[in-house]
Amino acid sequence: MPQTNARSDGSVAMWHALISFDGLFWQETSEIFNDPIHGHIEMHPLFVEIIDTPQFQRLRNIKQLGGGYFVYPGASHNRFEHSIGVCHLAGKLTKILKEHQLKSKDKSKPEITEKDALCVQIAGLCHDLGHGPFSHVFEMFMKEAGKQWEHEEQSVKMFEALLDENTKETTETRTIEKLMRDVYSFTHDDFKFIKALIKGKQSPPGPTTNRHTEALVKVYEALIQTIDAEDVRKDTGPGIKLKDLEEIKQLIRNSEPLPKDDITNQGGGANVSHPTKPEHTEALVKIFQTLMQMRGVQGQMEEHGSTKDTMKRMIELIGTIKPCDNVEKCESQNSEDKAGTRSDKPFLYEIVANKRTGIDVDKMDYLSRDCHHLGMKCNFDHERYMMFARVCDDQICMRDKEARNMYELFHARHSLHSSAYQHPVKKLVEQMIVDALLEAERAGFQIPGIDKKITEAVMDEKSYLHLTDDVLQEIVQESLKGSPSKGSQSADSPSKPSDLSEAETLIKRIQTRQLYQCLGTKTFSVFNRKTHKGDLKSNIPGFLKELKKLLEEHAEEDNSKLKSSNFDVLCFSLDYGKKEKDPIDSLGFYKKTKPDKMIHLNREEAAVY
């Protein structure tokens, strides 16, 4: 029986082993956390070391739902417990995927190693380290403060700082990074992989069995065999040689897997290795345009799971590839980008933050956790999802009969956005928090103990440790200290902010429920968004400026002293995660009789199950 020991935070430590490295000993200690969502969670000893660092403990003071706590009394949960939940689900899903692969008849699939699982779980544990006060509210503040900042990048910086923290269980100073290297054999590539997962990057380009890519290769090979080489060179431009055509084929194979009927979701460009010659991009387009006219091509495409429409859009996509001017530099960059990224296991990138489908353990935890604390019901069953998840064609796929359960996930997300995340009062409170932070920043407020402004603290990982939800109370306290009317030193003192009264007033208005007033709302449906001239999103800044001007004019007519700065317009969209697209379109499925072959379901087919 392992010895157990109760911690002050209620978790239970289980002593497993005493490990020696470099002549020293380190006590391996896993711990059991009693989580309200997932029950009893046993955390790996390495994860316990990560949890017990200042960078991770800081998450105890970052509200998960930002201003939601001012509307829903139960929404008191923090990023701390969410991160532990994501780590737990990441480990669970990785384990199930590995079990399914071991049982699979397809032995060509790469094995999921213990190191892979540890990397994915650590990424899940640390993916939110960079969140600022009140979570996504801080991103609003940074944007209005004119700073380019993303919490994912900040999470990587905080993770790097965490690696330099000392472990607890050694007799001498030893960092988390050295522990990971010495005891668990982590390499530079492993750390690089973890950081890529934390950033939420899409899977790297690499060899793939994706059926659309293979279909392109097959029909391309058929074209080369059918058309005379001289004609190919003549039709595709000067300088194209037979070896160039082979390089183009390799370029196709190195392309990012492209899901059916979702070719254009690659952000306006193909995620591929650079063509080794500038003329290859043009050659690709011309080759496939010729290919479209060939007899028998349609049959070959259908045989490999592609469609004529897919080919047309592939041609458009290929046209956006930027050729490389410096071949050696690009080849070196491609090699560096692929190093340590598990390019042979792109499905690992779909566990914590899935950019392709939006179905990941991060979402599964926050949907369940938020619903629990908000007193709402979540009909999506993540336990059932994991039972049927398996890897097909390098993607995490789902049983065809589970299509309805997947719709429940996106419906739960939509419902939470409609009822809680975009709640009018919550949005008003959050805007007041942003305005209070902006006023404090203008007044020169410095975070106590580090003497740096808010936007300056972001740039330093040690200072960022002090930036939590407590910042509002710190602003009030500093305002009281610097107010001459309250018996303190002059507000003109160089060691104090010039005037925090505006920020203090806003914070006290939040506390006393004297909130901004909502003057009206307007909903744009998908229909009238499309009829709006141009792209509605790109027109929003001009539209808001015009609207604020009209509000000011009406205020002047009523002899009011209100100005445009007294008004604000908040915009948000409600969809199922893929704008106007059906989110299920990008998800791969499989049938019970063919568990290793990916298929796609349209809306009608999904509705059958």
Calpha distance 514→421 (Å, rounded) = 21
For the beta carbon of residue 195, count every other beta carbon within 10 angstroms.
20
Please, which residues bridge with residue 399 across strands?
A: 590
CA angle 295/219/296 to nearest 5° reads: 20
DSSP state string for 73-135: TT---BHHHHHHHHHHHHHHHHHHHHHHHHH-S-TTSPP--HHHHHHHHHHHHHTTTT-BTTB
How many Å apart are CA 135 and CA 125, to the nearest integer?
Answer: 16
Q: Are 13 and 29 in contact (CB under 8 A)?
A: yes
Q: Helix, strand, coil shares of the chain as percentages rounded to 5? A: 55, 10, 35
- Burial of 604: CB neighbours in 10 Å, binned 0-12, 13-18, 19+: exposed
Is the CB of residue 138 less than 8 Å from the CB of residue 131?
yes
What SS3 class is residue 37?
coil
Residue pair 93/386 in contact (Cβ under 8 Å)? The answer is: yes
| SS3 per-residue string spanning 220-235 | HHHHHHHCCHHHHHHH
Q: Which residues contact 328 (CB under 8 A, 6 or more apart)?
A: none
Q: Active site includes 188? A: no
| Distances, alpha carbon 216 to alpha carbons 224, 262, 292, 492, 592, in Å | 12, 16, 11, 70, 28
Among residues 77, 82, 127, 151, which one is catalytic?
Answer: 151
∠ CA 355-356-357, rounded to 5°: 100
Gap between the Cα atoms of 322 and 334, Å rounded: 14
Tell me the two tokens of residue 174: 């030893």
**Residues annotated as part of the active site:** 151
